[in-house]
Amino acid sequence: MRLAVGTYTATSAAGVGLAALQESITSRRSGLRKNDLRGCDLDTWIGRIDGVEDQQLPPHLTHLLSRNNQLAWLGLQQDGMLGDIARLSDQLGADRIGVVMGTSTSSIGRTEEAYTQLLPSGEFRDEFRQPEVHGLHSPGIFVAEATGLTGPAMTISTACSSSAKVFATAARWINHGLIDAVLVGGIDSLCMSILYGFHSLELVSQNVCRPFDSRRDGINIGEACGYALLAREELLPQAEIALLGYGESADAYHMSHPHPQGEGAVIAMDRAIERAGISAEKVDYINLHGTASKANDRIESYALSRRFSKQTLVSSTKAWTGHALGAAGILEAVIALQAIASGVCPGTLNCEQPDPELAFPVITDNAERPVRYAMTNSFGFGGNNATLVFGPIHD
């Protein structure tokens, strides 16, 4: 099932595009800030991206206006993504390239805005009458129209595993011959529903998040978008990295609390490694889900201890970007890809007092070493888990 990974990019609070992201990682500069989202009075830190509201959509896309789609457009313009999509489309035909996007809440921020400006009749104002925006498939619709791709398009919404699962769906589509290539991606933008919703679950920290630290007390929420082109090897002859394996599970233990022994997480990791055709000992670096909540970090650490030796470097990058929810999967997949490309494994920012009760150690400082195989974990509400393994396209 080895699939070539072509152009990829990510935009987050840590930086717009790959160069800015890598500079943030090497300089250990966090993108978190005190909450300054307009109209939100929560005492917390967020990963907000500057300039999203200033993005002008092309005229043929203005009917899809939302802050979420403005962020999607900003991300598409980075690292030559639009040009490389166009070239692959010319080569294969637009109908032979699919689109799979992941999101948690899509353009709900636009819907919130619409409800604050209702007409006296209780109806939406004309500018908010956007049936293609007020739904979970808004990112898939927008990206397909923005790129001109006419293959199958869908949007996955499985909470925080959403844009990791896009890789699995793309692999199935390509391996079954439905299409030849897939543009995968993920997008989530900050909005009131997200911030107040997680606050109501008592998961939001008033401090900068501290993954795996003994003082950790909750998450910081961020926004992000990212994309990657996947195709059969012969269609991307310049590609050096491949998607080797994916694993998915749904343990359905609880709506918001992970399984106490991490059963679903272990299943997802096992399936990804099995599909990749490697042993756990071969994995050089794992980008963890690592949200900085008490339960998540403890359980993920225990799950790791059941499968990996301490020669595998592991870390969370949530303190750079915030937890990007439905976009976390693609964002952290890109960070894993960059670890392979650069040989820099990011440490766990803000983990100054590693929790001694955790079962598996995280690295706190950046580590420079060759990375042949990298893995990334994304775990969502309802026990919806996804793991990806990337490695060399040619052994």
Query: Which residues does the annotation mark as catalytic?
Result: 160, 289, 323
Residue 248 token pair: 């998915």
How far apart, in whole angstroms, are the C-alpha atoms of residue 85 and residue 95? 12
**Helix-, strand-, coil-residue percentages of the chain, each rounded to 5:** 35, 20, 40
- Residue 82 to residues 143, 145, 260, 360, 391, Cα–Cα distance (Å): 11, 12, 43, 40, 25
Strands (E), 130-278: 153-156, 181-188, 221-222, 224-231, 241-250
Side chain identity at 197, as an amino acid letter? G
Residue 351 token pair: 């983990």
Residues 6+ apart with CB under 8 A from 211: 288, 290, 291, 292, 297, 316, 318, 319, 348, 349, 350, 351, 362
φ and ψ of 195, to 5 deg: -65, -50
For 95-118, b where at least 16 C-beta lie within 10 A, e where not — what string? ebbbbbbbbbbbbbbbbebbeeee
Q: For residue 101, how many C-alpha atoms fall within 13 Å in the half-sphere facing its CB? A: 29
The SS3 of residue 354 is strand
Q: Is 349 within 8 Å of 320 (Cβ atoms)?
A: yes
